[in-house]
Structure formats: structure tokens, C-alpha cells
A and B are shown apart, each in its own frame.
Chain A
Amino acid sequence: RKEVEQDPGPFNVPEGATVAFNCTYSNSASQSFFWYRQDCRKEPKLLMSVYSSGNEDGRFTAQLNRASQYISLLIRDSKLSDSATYLCVVTSGGSYIPTFGRGTSLIVHP
């Protein structure tokens, strides 16, 4: 089982839709969780950190479920500009090395 798994998609949704991605992780000692956005051939950019109580930033909501070992990202009112690959990143306590998922591709169409 891979340490961090994501559905590669693509998720193809119309503008205005709500879409959610999940990311599962295998190491129960994982302590830090992030969602990054990566546009084609560009660098990954931090979208948001994921906190235990869940957190929201505008149209984006992140949740952590430690019992089931997954994090989620919900995007409301999708925009064309949300089209990108969304990377899940997990770091275990005491580890120097974050573990990246392969990413979920989102395509928002008119």
C-alpha cells in the first residue's frame, strides 16, 4: 500500500459545482497535512494546511479524519481557474521528508 494515495481523476465538473477529493495515508504517526495546487508544468503552491478541527479558506474546506486516516478537500462554486492538479502532502512526526500523493486532476468546464 502506498503511503499517500489519491484518486488521479480527472474530475470533470461544470462551473459552479461542488467537488470533493480524498487522500488516504498509511502512517498513523502522521502529524502534518497540506493541500497543494499544481498547474501544468508549474511549481506546487500551498493551497492550505489541514488542521484537526477542519478549516476553511473562502470556497475551500479541508478536513482531517485521523480515525480513518484520510484528509479531504472540498471546493464550492468551482471556477474555471480551479482547473489544476491537487496534491496531498503528509509528514510524520520527526520526519524531515514530506510524502506527496500523485495528485488529483480537476477540470472545470463552462
Chain B
Amino acid sequence: NAGVTQTPKFRVLKTGQSMTLLCAQDMNHEYMYWYRQDPGMGLRLIHYSVGEGTTAKGEVPDGYNVSRLKKQNFLLGLESAAPSQTSVYFCASRPRQGGQPQHFGDGTRLSIL
């Protein structure tokens, strides 16, 4: 009964390094989302996907790339990490049919030094 799984849970990077965050869901959901949340702030949408092979920009997409090669996985990439990308990253998924809530992973805590 995994739901939405994010890996890794924690990571420390140096400025300029690259990394990929993985989100996997086992609920056969069509829609997937990546958010970031900074202290004292709300969730901000980075990118989202409405199906395998499709992605779209959210509110704060700069500095990030995403891919959805398989329906169950949504990858978030940082090509050249910057201190401003220090944040908690949450992945979420939901079914296509209207009126359904999102299900969230338990987050990735990322620090960029």
C-alpha cells in the first residue's frame, strides 16, 4: 500500500551539482505534480504531467526539468543546483476523473550549499 513514494528523502548538494528526484505512484493515476515548499510559504507548483510522455510548466519552473517516460514515474531534475533551490519538494498524483483529491509523497528535503 505504498501510494506515492519519493526518493531520496534527504540530500545535500554543492552549488552547480546536478541530481534527479524520483516520484513513483502505484495507484495508476494519470496526473502527477511536483511542488516546492519554503519555510512559512505555501506550496508552489514547479511542473506537472497529465499523462505519460507529457509535461507542462507550473508557477516556478525555472532551473528544473521533468520527464514522464512511464505512467507511474515522474522525475524532477536539477541541472545546476543553486542555493535558492534549497527547499522541501513534494510530489503528488491524482486520477483523471474530476472531483478527486491529490495524494502526496512524504517529501524530499534538499539543501544546496
Contact = CB atoms under 8 A, between A and B. Distances in A.
Nearest to B39: A41
Q: How large is the interface on A (under 10, 10 to 19, 20 to 34, 35 or more residues)?
A: 20 to 34
Given A43-B105, A43-B107, A97 B58 contact: yes
A31 B45 CA distance: 20
Nearest to B6: A43
Contacts of B43: 44, 87, 100
Contacts, number: 48
Q: How large is the interface on B (under 10, 10 to 19, 20 to 34, 35 or more residues)?
A: 20 to 34
Interface of B: 31, 33, 41-43, 45, 48, 50, 56, 58, 88, 90, 98-107, 109
A43 B104 contact: yes
B48 A46 contact: no
Q: List 8 tightest A-B contacts by C-beta distance, closest first.
A: A43-B104, A102-B42, A32-B99, A46-B101, A43-B106, A100-B43, A34-B101, A44-B104
